[in-house]
A and B are shown apart, each in its own frame.
Chain A
Amino acid sequence: MTLHPATASAKTEPEQSVIHIMCFSQEPDWDAPWRFSAVRRGSGSGFVIQGKRIMTNAHVVSWDRQILVQRYQDPRPYLATVEFVAHDCDLAILKVQDERFFEGLEPLEFGELPKVRSTVVTYGYPAGGQQISYTRGVVSRVDINNYVHQGNRSLLGVQTDAAINPGNSGGPVIQDDHVVGVAFQGTPGLENTGFFIPPPVIRHFLKDIEDGAYEGFPQAGIRLVPLQNPAYRRFLGLPDNDLGARVDSLVEIPSTQAVMRPDDVILQIGPYPVGSDGTILFEGNRVFGAMAFQEAQHGEEVKLKLWRDKQETTVSLPVYYYEGDRTAGNQYGSPPRYFVYGGLVFTPLSMDYLKTFGRNWADAANAELVYEIFYRRHEDPEQTRSEPIVLADTLADEVNANFIIHRRALVDKINGIRIDKLEDVIRAIESNTAAQHVIEFIPHNGFECLDRADAEQAASRILETYGIPKDRRL
């Protein structure tokens, strides 16, 4: 790691470049998808980087309606817009239209992954006051962490005992005048544990957007498990040492399935030897091997040294951003797709939709929905639907007055057509010429019928009654 003291010392104090961000946002109602929640005012931090840009967290500016940014000790608010947003790694880049905003501001430079036990200082605008706040702490741990903003991605993260509170989000973590992290999350219930996004993740993001679009961190689609049982190592003809972890199974990614097999033993990923516990040594920290794949960009190939059929071999594995579990994580940016017909509200099943059920969304009562979203694609890939559709709700009207199944039901078929995505619902309904529409559900083939002529007559009445601007959003 090389620092650049000459460059750093010439600069002004870092706080000059730390920005206070106010975001006015509106999230969609996932069970009434044409509607949005009340406007919420959120506050976060950011900092100026090269190219007249502000870096912050994605969660600071998600679902934005208006973003205002303020410089250090400057009362004037400036309008900002999102230029890039990366929900998987919780980072975003903002642009400010008014060029004057950047006058006199030095962009902060990025440093390297800080060492465990070294001291860092966070800069930001946390709750509890209007002025900038500094907190000092040590780097407690470097590990793979769940990034809670999207919820189903784990990337390299750094834990510190410097206080990181709401409002700190997006602020820089500084060491020797260089940004060594972006503060982003804490763990409720654990004391003195704040987390920041380290330079390897930040640089990956910045490299990704160089082509003008953000793709995301690639996934190998490999379930890598420790290989420490001496008998299993013997079974595979491996020496009883600490090298090599086992591929237990593969995610349904064709490019991975073409190259990898269950029971392959991965000895090395790129430059990193893989330990028998599935970890690699990354800049002095033992972290889970998946980290090594995250260094690649979407579409790049990663060289793997494998132990297969009792001999060493080398393969090149192309890795891509994985879309297959999109709905199992929190979604942002695009409001939910829907189609309303005869008062029946059809929308894709998603984690966001399940959360509208409240704290106990995973109740036995919703088992089919939970299974569909989290398990089916692993267990029954042939029956997996690309976009499972739910009857989210039934807007009461005389056409549907006698429905027994009227909400939270997974749709199987409509008019005999299997529903794999929202477009199938529309096609099945609009192509039907019979007197009734037949909607079948999972489980147990429960069904409801809707009189076609009545439903068509009721269409505009229902939209008007319930204040729905359009019958669909695709």
Chain B
Amino acid sequence: MKPFSHWAARTTTHCQALATAPMPPTPDRPQPGSGSVSLHAWAARLLAMITLTLLLPGRAMQGAESRPSGWEDSIVEMDVTRKQYDYTQPWTRRMQSRRKAGLVLEGHEILTTADQVYDRTLVRIQKRGRGKWYIGDVTWIDYHANLAIVTTEEPGFWDDLKPIVVPEGRSPSESMQIVRWREGKLEMRKAEFSQYTVDTGDLSFVPRILLEISAEIQGVGWGEPVFSNDTLIGLSVQHTGNKISVLPASFIRPILSARKLGTYRGLGFFDFFWQAAVNPASLEHLKLKGEPRGAIVIEVPSHPDQTPVLQPLDILLKIDGFDIDMQGDYQDPDYGPLLLENLATRGKWAGDAVPMTISREGRELEILYRLPKAEFSTSLVPDATYDQAPEYLIAGGFVFQPLNDPYLKAWGPDWKRRSPFRIYYFNNQAPTPEQPALVLLSQVLPDVYNLGYQDVKYLVVKQVNGRRIARLEDLHAALENPPDGFHIIEFMESDSLRRLVVSAADLEAATQRVLQRYGIASDHHLSSESPAETVTAGKP
């Protein structure tokens, strides 16, 4: 089960009149029938443009604005090389590079987004869009917050850089510009305010505030800063069409401050499902006293070690002092109506207690809801496995892998539709103490040992040799104890194959033969044997 937990996801808008976009200038076009004359005219114009360009060195591309802002000393370009895994052949890897923007902070730190910084092999930093690349070191990264801090020890790097301040509080929304280095020049594009929303990002299931802007620019969303005059508004994190999502400074600043103080424990989230209370008959049924308001809790995940403070059919009336309206919004003092999910990340961290006023069977109660820590590993099918090479185990040509979304994403951008339905559907199912995770028999590398099973694939393993399987480690251990000379592999109940049996004595030889024939260096990669080199959230 993965929250973003309300029915019929929707965005909450902080409305402002959109400024009318200026009309683009009509391009001069040669008129039909005036070919030879206009050729001359164009040649002359071209010459004039070249002259103009020569006269104004440093001018950015046409359409972009440029000015000596001082941002040149505060924005760096970064190039991150990372390993790219093919989950259909988890033993292979390729390299991929991504250009990103970084912001110079006090204390020899560079702030950027965490996107594409995972599985990194090399981080390089360049000043003023040109010249020497300095080797960077990621000292802190938080994938849920989508933030990372990079530094470098190289001499001279910091000498002529000017730190920027990530401001507190509400950001202005006038005269916004998005800024990046491009071809050695600082490119600035005018941006229009669109709305504030609360939504999940590409990296994490935790919903948090995002600023939506629009700008005539291509290929941003990689940490490029957005300014309003000289104030930092935020970092761009996503770009589709003209729409750019920006992580606001007001979200970033408290995290950076808490990190400095050592009090940042990672983001928390609301793990319950709720629905808006717009149907008055529902509120009447739940015996709410007073005006229609609040959001109705409909499902609360069970935790083996604690009794949840919330119950299904509780009505959330106040969260952290804010009234919840019947849409499930609260009135944010800075941004207007926002989805209640934002109150889990608004200056609060995992483990913090959030005071709530609820109505339960007609009685108002005050409760303290402790924010669970956002962790990928708590889902039955984890959304992400950052900084870990794909795990796998090959036994006699059978390829076993943990079922996770990175595996399913091998089906391409349309993976939710194209991946095999039944294994995708595990995303809709909750983990249990007996089954906290799933292991998939993803494919069979044909060998005489697995004769008759060559076409078996995409099956979730239930047990092996009588032992319940949730992780590759369980499988590894189960294969150590074959009863009576056979390995018995059983799959989850479905309309597909339930059971197969292979020889125990021949397994090792078959595995070696398969590795050699298919050119695979190792029969397994288990993260427990080589834990990821992580700089986790919560450690400054």
Contacts and interface: CB of A to CB of B under 8 A. Distances in A.
B242 interface: no
A228 B451 contact: yes
**Among B312, B424, B503: residue with most chain A CB under 10 A:** B503
B486 A446 contact: no
B282 interface: yes
A227 B416 CA distance: 34
A248 B279 contact: no
Contacts of A249: 493, 498
B284 A436 contact: yes
Contacts of B279: 402-404, 448-449
A357 interface: no
A137 interface: no
A447 B494 contact: no
A378 B425 CA distance: 15
A225 interface: yes
A375 B298 contact: no
A379 B492 contact: yes
Interface string A368-382: 101100110011100
B359 interface: no
A209 B502 CA distance: 47
A362 interface: yes
Interface stretch (B43-51, B218-226, B270-278, B511-519): B270-278
A447 B495 contact: no
B500 to A, nearest CB: 7
A226 B499 contact: no
Contacts of B416: 363-364
A228 B242 CA distance: 58
Contact of A445 (B284, B299, B421): B299
A301 to B, nearest CB: 26
Contact of B451 (A229, A248, A262): A229
A5 B268 CA distance: 85
**Among B281, B282, B497, B501: residue with most chain A CB under 10 A:** B281
B7 A367 contact: no
Contacts of B425: 367, 370-371, 375
Interface string A427-465: 000000001101000011111111100000000000000
A412 to B, nearest CB: 11
B501 A232 contact: yes
Nearest to B422: A375
A28 to B, nearest CB: 27
Nearest to A435: B284
Interface in B309-338: 312
Contact of A229 (B284, B312, B494, B501): B501
A231 interface: yes
- The majority secondary structure among interface residues of chain A is mixed
A405 interface: yes
Contacts of A445: 273, 298-299, 312
Given A229-B502, A448-B282, A363 B417 contact: yes
Contacts of A380: 493
A234 interface: yes
A378 B495 contact: yes
Nearest to A360: B417
A299 interface: no
B494 A379 contact: yes
B298 A444 contact: yes
A226 B495 CA distance: 15
B19 interface: no
Interface in B487-531: 488, 492-495, 497-503, 506
B285 interface: yes
B172 interface: no
B281 A449 contact: yes
**Among A223, A362, A449: residue with most chain B CB under 10 A:** A449
A109 B7 CA distance: 62
A402 B416 CA distance: 31
Contacts of A364: 416-417, 424
A368 B428 contact: yes
Nearest to A226: B452
A263 interface: yes
A226 B497 CA distance: 10
Contacts of B118: none
A262 B284 contact: no
A370 B421 contact: yes
A453 B312 CA distance: 26
A283 to B, nearest CB: 27
Interface in A171-192: none
B451 A375 contact: no
A227 B452 contact: yes
Interface string B379-416: 00000000000000000000000000000000000001
A234 B486 CA distance: 9
A404 B275 contact: yes
Contact of B281 (A367, A371, A405, A450): A450
A446 B8 CA distance: 11
A228 B452 CA distance: 5
Contacts of B273: 444-446
Interface string B293-307: 000001100000000
Interface string A86-98: 0000000000000
A230 interface: yes
A438 B285 CA distance: 8
Interface string A12-52: 00000000000000000000000000000000000000000
A235 interface: yes
Interface string A212-254: 0000000000010111111110110000000000001100000
Given A232-B501, A370-B421, A402 B278 contact: yes
B458 interface: no
A234 B485 CA distance: 10
A116 to B, nearest CB: 25
Given A364-B417, A402-B278, A443 B428 contact: yes
Contacts of B133: none
Nearest to B486: A235
A305 B62 CA distance: 83
A364 B452 CA distance: 33
**Among A227, A378, A380: residue with most chain B CB under 10 A:** A378
Contact of A232 (B299, B417, B422, B452): B452
Contact of A451 (B281, B428, B493): B281
B453 interface: yes
Q: Closest 8 A-B residue pairs measured CB to CB?
A: A228-B452, A231-B503, A449-B281, A229-B452, A364-B416, A232-B501, A402-B279, A449-B282
30 contacts: A228-B452, A229-B450, A229-B452, A230-B451, A231-B502, A232-B452, A262-B498, A262-B499, A363-B417, A364-B424, A367-B421, A367-B428, A368-B428, A370-B421, A378-B493, A402-B278, A402-B279, A404-B8, A405-B7, A435-B284, A435-B285, A436-B282, A436-B284, A444-B5, A444-B298, A445-B273, A446-B273, A447-B275, A447-B298, A451-B284
Interface of A: 223, 225-232, 234-235, 248-249, 262-263, 360, 362-364, 367-368, 370-371, 374-375, 378-380, 402-405, 435-436, 438, 443-451
Given A402-B281, A435-B285, 8 more contacts: A230-B503, A232-B500, A248-B498, A263-B499, A363-B416, A403-B279, A404-B8, A448-B282
